[in-house]
Structure 1
Amino acid sequence: MLGNVSAGVEALARRSGRELRRLTLALTNSSVYGKVAERSSRPRGLLYAATAIRAAAANHADSVQVPENGQLALNPPLSAARSASLSTRSVHPRTLYLLNTVIRTVGGSVTVENPLAHLTKGEVCRAAVRAGLPLAVLAQGMCCGAPPRQRRGLPYDNCGVCFPCLVRRSGLLARTGIDPTPYETTPRHPSLSTERAEHWRTLRIWLGRPYTMFDLIGDVPLPPGTSAANWLQVIESGRAELRAMVRWAESEAPGAA
């Protein structure tokens, strides 16, 4: 499936006239120089960003584009147990601000930017389709935080129940009313364990209470000169897409009227 996504990206590159260069990166949890390496994926975002910055500088490019929808860039914690560093912040506006500050401090000129920062997942899906990416290819991408193919050797790239997968579902449903992605399971499947349904339960609780400016700036500070109101609007628009996805999932659940 990911081969089809690569073909779609290459087709868009040809259409735009841009040169496409690929560089494969991966983290390892094996021993390095006799020491146990980092077992989590927490350094992954920094590894990717640093590599892109180095490549941009070597090729005299002005910027590095890190495309992530605003919902997952901010990644608001669904509960207090996932606040601050307990959730990924690799593309958070403050993270990019700090990266750019480091670049300037060492005399670099590359700027790291997120061109999708103020778009929800649904808005990103709409933009992708308008740009010529077929929906069938869009549905075959991987957004999962715990990919079944990598973790358990199953024939699925997306589990369907982690928070990134739930945001993915909401975005595709907001764009077309359907989500043809082949998931491992659904958030309302009767066989789903309590542990695996955690994100679904927490998401519903989070959507049932207000999300305020204090929630936005109290988790991870925004960079100086940033409009908090604009970011809050991204979250609220994304919450609307997620609520619609919850209603859809409940109507599709086994035994639903």
Structure 2
Amino acid sequence: MKKIKVILKQHRQDNFNFKEEKDVLTIFTNDRGLSETIVTTNVFDILKKCAITTSEEANDLLHLAIGLYVIDQIYSRKIFGFQGWSRYFEIYIPVAKPQLWQEIKEELENTLSFLSGDRCFFNFRELIKEEKQLKFLQENKDWKIDKVALFSGGMDSFIGAIDYLEQGNRMAFVSHHKRGSEGKAQQKLFGALKNKYGDRSFETFRFWVQPVKKNAPSADISSRMRSFLFVSLGLTIANSLGEEIDFIIPENGLISLNVPLTGTRLSSHSTRTTHPYYIYLLQNIFYHLGIKNKIYNPYQTKTKGSMALNCENLELLREFNKDTLSCSHPDQNRWKKGGKSGVNCGYCVPCIIRQAAEKKANIEDTVYIHDIINNPNSLKSKSREDLRAFQLALERLKSVSEKSLIFEVLNSGPLSFSNKYELSDYVGIYKTGMEEVAEFLYP
């Protein structure tokens, strides 16, 4: 496995380097339009515009998360990964308090390995302060926010937004979007929420981080580290508003657990972006850094269908659900003649779970590229993989005992029982979620 060395820098005045080593990439995580830059982002411009004051630890976390996201995107697993998957990174990171970060170094490395399947080794060094730093106001604006929630533009995040707004909370929604349909979906849904709940019902923070392909060594599409960036962005906003502000990640329990559907889907298919163990590990790391906002998923023990059926404004959900994007690759269709981006494919794992939820809650009008129930033969062999995996899993589960379901659930990762969710809850959500999918696939 080839070792990839990367130096992260927060600004151009940082002169740290390896003089005698070649093939060491340097990434400036807050670069501003220079021709050779590898990353462009609006994160720090938005923080400045909104007078968001971050702690040193939150600022370092943001730069780290941006760097990791870019690294994840520009090093192809096929080229640089062991057996086409796991990559080995050695990353040099400037932080305000190296000793503090050193204390959570091993835990952070293991957590990100659990998330991405890669091996990351961190070397923390003291941050050289920029002479001309971004000038943030000394005091935050009085936002009067009750809770902060991630808003991806997917069905789950839209349901979460509706539920919390219906309960009278003034929300801050944090989004990350790539260029393309994802950002457009978020804008349209925010418009619908403002029309319903009023302009003052919530604030939005719409961030983007974009690798510059022409300056990158390669490209990868797995996006595992995006979850860490997502969480870091949301947590930074929550923490800047006060450590008592909860940070919410709305995700149905079946997707969150993401139990491998077959024995061969334990690496590239086994995503852990909101897995409860991953969130538990992150909470401990952030707490050690002094970022004490509570992170939780209120829908951890609910299926997507249950989330939809019990949405606190089902009428609003039914009207605008068609505009949400839950697909793994919503822009893939644009390569087809006459095709357009921003359409759910219908055959990936999130789309199959989504259609099962829509059937349960009697939600219609979502457009899918493929109708996997009435026209499964329209799928090419590769496109049929997720459908076939669900079919095999459902057939296998017919002969699996209740006790053995525990081992099925633990295949996706260990589970912590220090919180309010018991093991039986996790097993129950997996069983109920798969039954929901079965009702869709076998009407």
Structure 1-normalised TM-score?
A: 0.85
1:241 paired residue number: 436
- The Cα offsets for residues 100-130 of structure 1, whole Å up to 9 and x where unpaired, read as 0011111221121111111101011123363
1:152 aligns with 2:348: no
Residues in 2 aligned to 1:37 and 1:195: alpha-carbon distance in whole angstroms:
21
Code of the aligned partner of 2:352: L
Residues in 2 aligned to 1:128 and 1:112: alpha-carbon distance in whole angstroms:
21
1:251 paired residue number: none
4+ residue runs over 4 A deviation: 34-39
Residues in 1 aligned to 2:257 and 2:266: alpha-carbon distance in whole angstroms:
11
**Structure 1 residues 135 and 96: CA distance shift in structure 2, 3 A:** same
Q: Which has the higher mean CA deviation after the structures are superposed, 113-122 or 126-135?
A: 126-135
Give the deviation of 1:141 after TM superposition. Answer: 0.7
**1:23 partner SS:** strand
Give the deviation of 1:132 after TM superposition. Answer: 5.0
2:223 paired residue number: 41
Bigger CA radius of gyration: 2
1:252 paired residue number: none
Give the deviation of 1:241 after TM superposition. Answer: 0.9
The answer to whether the 8 Å contact 1:4/1:137 transfers is no
Residues in 2 aligned to 1:91 and 1:175: alpha-carbon distance in whole angstroms:
24
1:97 paired residue number: 280
Aligned residue pairs: how many? 245
Code of the aligned partner of 1:242: V
Code of the aligned partner of 2:424: A
- The Cα offsets for residues 11-41 of structure 1, whole Å up to 9 and x where unpaired, read as 45539x6322231324436256x65565431
1:50 aligns with 2:232: yes
**1:99 partner SS:** helix
1:215 aligns with 2:408: yes
The answer to whether the 8 Å contact 1:148/1:159 transfers is no
For structure 1, which runs of at least 5 residues remain unmatched after alignment?
249-257
> What aligned pairs does 1:49-68 form with structure 2 within 5 A after superposition?
49-60=231-242, 62-68=245-251
**2:295 partner SS:** strand
1:181 aligns with 2:181: no
Code of the aligned partner of 1:196: S
Give the deviation of 1:236 after TM superposition. Answer: 1.1
The answer to whether the 8 Å contact 1:148/1:184 transfers is no
2:381 paired residue number: 194
2:325 paired residue number: 142
Residues in 1 aligned to 2:193 and 2:415: alpha-carbon distance in whole angstroms:
32
1:254 paired residue number: none
Residues in 2 aligned to 1:107 and 1:83: alpha-carbon distance in whole angstroms:
34
Residues in 2 aligned to 1:31 and 1:237: alpha-carbon distance in whole angstroms:
46
1:224 paired residue number: 417
**Structure 1 residues 200 and 9: CA distance shift in structure 2, 3 A:** same
Give the deviation of 1:6 after TM superposition. Answer: 2.6
Give the deviation of 1:46 after TM superposition. Answer: 0.7
1:111 aligns with 2:294: yes
The answer to whether the 8 Å contact 1:75/1:88 transfers is yes
1:9 paired residue number: 193
For structure 2, which runs of at least 5 residues remain unmatched after alignment?
1-183
Residues in 1 aligned to 2:279 and 2:268: alpha-carbon distance in whole angstroms:
15
Residues in 1 aligned to 2:328 and 2:294: alpha-carbon distance in whole angstroms:
27
Q: 2:392 aligns with which of 205, 208, 211?
A: 205
Identity %: 23
Per residue, is there more strand in 1 or in 2?
2
The answer to whether the 8 Å contact 2:258/2:270 transfers is yes
**Structure 1 residues 163 and 194: CA distance shift in structure 2, 3 A:** same
**Structure 1 residues 58 and 38: CA distance shift in structure 2, 3 A:** farther
Q: CA RMSD in A?
A: 2.5
The answer to whether the 8 Å contact 1:70/1:234 transfers is yes
The answer to whether the 8 Å contact 1:28/1:37 transfers is no
Residues in 1 aligned to 2:193 and 2:303: alpha-carbon distance in whole angstroms:
21
2:202 paired residue number: 19
Code of the aligned partner of 1:122: G
Per residue, is there more helix in 1 or in 2?
1
Residues in 1 aligned to 2:346 and 2:209: alpha-carbon distance in whole angstroms:
23
- The Cα offsets for residues 172-202 of structure 1, whole Å up to 9 and x where unpaired, read as 00111x5321011122422221111111111
Code of the aligned partner of 1:160: G
Residues in 2 aligned to 1:97 and 1:104: alpha-carbon distance in whole angstroms:
11
**Structure 1 residues 27 and 93: CA distance shift in structure 2, 3 A:** farther
**Structure 1 residues 146 and 232: CA distance shift in structure 2, 3 A:** same
**Structure 1 residues 194 and 29: CA distance shift in structure 2, 3 A:** farther
